[in-house]
Structure 1
Amino acid sequence: MKTPLLTVDTVVVQNSSILLIKRKNDPYQGSWALPGGFVEYGETVEDAAVRETKEETGIDVILKELVGVYSDPDRDPRGHTVTVCFLGSKIGGMLKSATDADDAKYFDLNEIKTLDLAFDHERIIHDSLKLLKI
Structure 2
Amino acid sequence: MNKYKKPSVTTDIFIFDEDFNFILIKRKNNPFKNYWALPGGFVDYGETVESAAIREAKEETSIDVELKDLVNVYSNPDRDSRGHTISITYTAKGDFNERKANDDAIDIGIFSAEKLDEINIAFDHNKIIKDCLNIVKNEK
- TM-score band, normalised by shorter chain: over 0.9
Gaps of 5+ in 1: none
In the alignment, structure 1 residue 36 sits paired with structure 2 residue 43: no
**Structure 2 unaligned blocks of 5 or more:** none
**What does residue 63 of structure 2 align with?**
59
Task: Output one character per residue of 1:93-129: Cα deviation in whole Å (capped at 9) or x when no partner.
Answer: 7110010000112112212231121010001011111
Distance across 2 between alignment mates of 1:61 and 1:81: 23
Alignment TM-score, normalising by the size of structure 1: 0.95
Aligned length: 134
RMSD: 1.4
Between the aligned residues of both structures, percent identity stands at: 49
Match of 2:8 among 1, 5, 8: 5
Which of the pair has more CA radius of gyration?
2
Q: 2: CA distance between counterparts of 1:27 and 1:18?
A: 22
Q: How far, CA to CA, are the matches of 2:120 and 2:28 in structure 1?
A: 15
Q: Residue 67 of structure 1 contacts residue 131 of structure 1 at CA under 8 Å; is this kept in 2?
A: yes
Q: Which has the higher strand share?
A: 1
- Distance across 2 between alignment mates of 1:36 and 1:73: 18
Q: Give the corresponding residue for 1:96.
A: 100
Give the counterpart of 1:73 among 51, 74, 77.
77
Residues 91, 62 of structure 1: alpha-carbon distance in 2 compared, 3 angstrom cutoff? farther
